Structure 1
Amino acid sequence: MKVANTMQISAATEADTECLSVLLGEIEHYYGGEPVPGDPEQIRSALFSDRPVATVLLARDGDTVLGLASYTFLWPAAGAESSLYLKELYVRSNARRGGVARALMAELRSVATASGCSRIEWTADTDNPSALAFYKALGVEPKGGKVFYRSAL
């Protein structure tokens, strides 16, 4: 699918909860899990409560959602500065290679700049060569020196 020049990027709203649920199922499937939609109540709580934990940008062509970028802010970044942390960048399979990811990254850069951030940070799976190639094409090289940890609760 070639992405039309009419692509718009905007922050998701509570009205997008069902769409986000479907997208989360697609993301889970992309990473090898079962394509089970996300829980709408958890999505509402995480994104649209009094204390949201993330913001989601949606790329759309008309009424069709092409992809998303989920982010939050981290502090401290360098000194007392903050950074924008990209948690998930996802483009639906029929919209890949159409400029959606590049447009989402450009919008993230605008958000980070407007928010006074000193940088954008993210991780990528080492077994995702298309993502690694995309980030390299953006001119961003991987940073060494950190080890990723995860502790289940």
Structure 2
Amino acid sequence: MTVTIRPADKQDIAALAELIEEIERFYGSADIQPAEERRAQVEEALFGSPPIASALVVEDTTGDLVGLAAYSFLWPAAGSSHSLFLKELYVRDTLRRQGVGTRLMNELRALAAARPGCSRVEWMTDRDNPRARSFYRRLGFTEFNGKIVYRVDAGMA
């Protein structure tokens, strides 16, 4: 199937909110927020002032969104440079193993290379996600074994 990869725009908000629900269900979440709330969060994150994230979307020939790569630039990375941090890479089941994820990763690498001062692309995946880990290995990426991730809810003090 032919797909187009492009930056998300405001007309994608509703479709992105639906895709994010699909991602949540893919990861096993049963606590899905209301659609209107999700749409508002997508709009604020990608198109707020200032936006806190960016996204590439995958659009199929019918105009449906079938994948995304959500990312942000983080500073500092190496020295005083910054990095492109990939938060979410998702391709709908029907398009997996057709090169779409590889194309998304290549687009992200090109975005990072084109941005002055961006020294690398970074991302994480769960240790218990063998399909994702295998995908990244097939692309020639090695796992970095040096960080421990911590997480706390924003409301906790």
Q: How many Å apart are 1:35 and its aligned residue?
A: 7.6
Match of 1:39, SS state, is helix
Report what 2:57 is aligned to.
Answer: 58
Q: Distance in 1 between matches of 2:139 and 2:83?
A: 18
Q: Is the 8 A contact 2:57 2:67 kept in 1?
A: yes
Query: What CA distance in whole angstroms lies between the structure 2 residues aligned with 1:133 and 1:56?
Result: 23
Structure 1 stretches of 4+ moved >2 Å: 34-38
- For the residues of structure 2 that align with 1:35 and 1:129, how far apart are their CA atoms? 24
Report the 3-state secondary structure (helix = DSSP H, G, I; strand = E; otherwise coil) of the residue aligned with 1:15.
helix
State the one-letter code of the partner of 1:57.
Answer: L
Structure 2, unpaired ranges of 5+ = none
Instruction: Compute the displacement of 1:145 (Å).
Output: 1.5
Match of 1:80 in 2: 80
The question of whether the paired residues in 1 share the 8 Å contact of 2:72 and 2:84 is answered with yes
> Deviation at 1:61?
2.1
- Whether 1:143 and 2:151 are equivalent positions in the alignment is no
After TM superposition, give the deviation of residue 59 of structure 1 in Å: 1.2
2:120 maps to what in 1?
119
Report deviation, 1:101.
0.4
* Contact kept? 1:66, 1:100, Cα under 8 Å: no
TM-score norm. by structure 2 comes to: 0.90
| Structure 1 unaligned residues grouped into runs of 5+ | none
SS in 2 for 1:127: coil
Aligned residues: 149
